[in-house]
Amino acid sequence: MDDAMTDPLIEASGLTRNYASRPDRVAGVSDLTLRVGRGEFVVIQGASGSGKSTLLLMLGALLRPQRGTLRVDGVDLCGLNASGLSRFRARSVGFVFQLFHLVPYLTVRHNVLAGLPPGGAVDASEADRWIEALGLTERRDADPATLSAGERQRVALARALVKRPSLILADEPTGNLDPDNAARVLEHLDRYRRAGGTVVLVTHGSEANRYATQRLRLEAGRWVSPSSNAPSHASAS
């Protein structure tokens, strides 16, 4: 734990991203502080529009903060140009989304191979290892359109895990799954974490709470107490 706190995987302070197109109300995230140690499973909850995806996109270097500092996996994400950011993503981050985002004209195996980082740093045989680990061997040559939702999300997981990322960013990964498949996906994420990985997962639900090493809650772009069901301003009274 001490190591995790002295060498955090994610360190953010004053992180802010507002959308200029929404001057009528708070949109985006404001002044967020975040510290995530290696080996953590962070669960972020919050209502629709509270800024969860905005935060996740910044952690994955897909969206630039407007203010604040952000270090992930030893890299200052605010100081990188576009090619530096894409190198960072290729090396360090695996993404998993609610709607899977598989490539429809590639087989399961080729979707997983697509997750390998450029440059041959990871052997292609790793793809088959993950296909087997995620119970997809029989669907290896199938088209994504013929898969069940649970199978699709396991392909997306294999694609994210195959490059051995330092960090998995998961945006509602169980949002389209039945309880059994949701539990299976969370179990695989936790297995990756126990092997030394780090997970930041965004969700509306509560089924990931049992895996959480840190629980956070966003409301209108700011942290509030995770146990509070009331609006954040109510907690001051």
Ligand X SMILES: Nc1ncnc2c1ncn2[C@@H]1O[C@H](COP(=O)(O)OP(=O)(O)OP(=O)(O)O)[C@@H](O)[C@H]1O
Residue choice 14, 22, 118, 187 for contact with ligand X (CB under 6 A): 22
Q: Can you name the residues that pair with 219 across neighbouring β-strands?
A: 222
Q: Which residue has the tokens 């919050």?
A: 46
Rounded Cα gap, residues 233 and 224, in angstroms? 9
- Closest to ligand X by CB, 46 vs 65, is 46
- Minimal distance, residue 109 CB to ligand X, in Å: 31
CA distances from 161 to 2, 42, 192 (A): 26, 17, 8
Which phi and psi (to 5°) does residue 57 adopt? -65, -35
Residue choice 10, 12, 27, 201 for contact with ligand X (CB under 6 A): 27
Rounded Cα gap, residues 71 and 119, in angstroms? 24
- Minimal distance, residue 201 CB to Mg ion, in Å: 12
- Binding to ligand X (CB under 6 A) within 154-173 occurs at none
Residues that bind Mg ion (CB under 5 A): 53
- Minimal distance, residue 120 CB to ligand X, in Å: 35
Rounded Cα gap, residues 166 and 87, in angstroms? 13
- Closest to ligand X by CB, 21 vs 227, is 21
Q: Which does 21 bind (CB under 5 to 8 A by kind): Mg ion, ligand X, none?
A: ligand X
Site string for ligand X, 48-87 (x = CB under 6 A): xxxxxxx---------------------------------
Residue 61 backbone class (left: φ over 0; alpha: ψ -120 to 50; beta: rest): left
Q: Which does 51 bind (CB under 5 to 8 A by kind): ligand X, Mg ion, none?
A: ligand X
- Closest to ligand X by CB, 49 vs 135, is 49
217 binds ligand X (CB under 6 A): no
Q: How far, in whole angstroms, is CA 158 from its chain's centroid?
A: 14
Rounded Cα gap, residues 200 and 95, in angstroms? 10
Q: Which residues are near ligand X by CB under 6 A?
A: 19, 21-22, 27-28, 46, 48-54
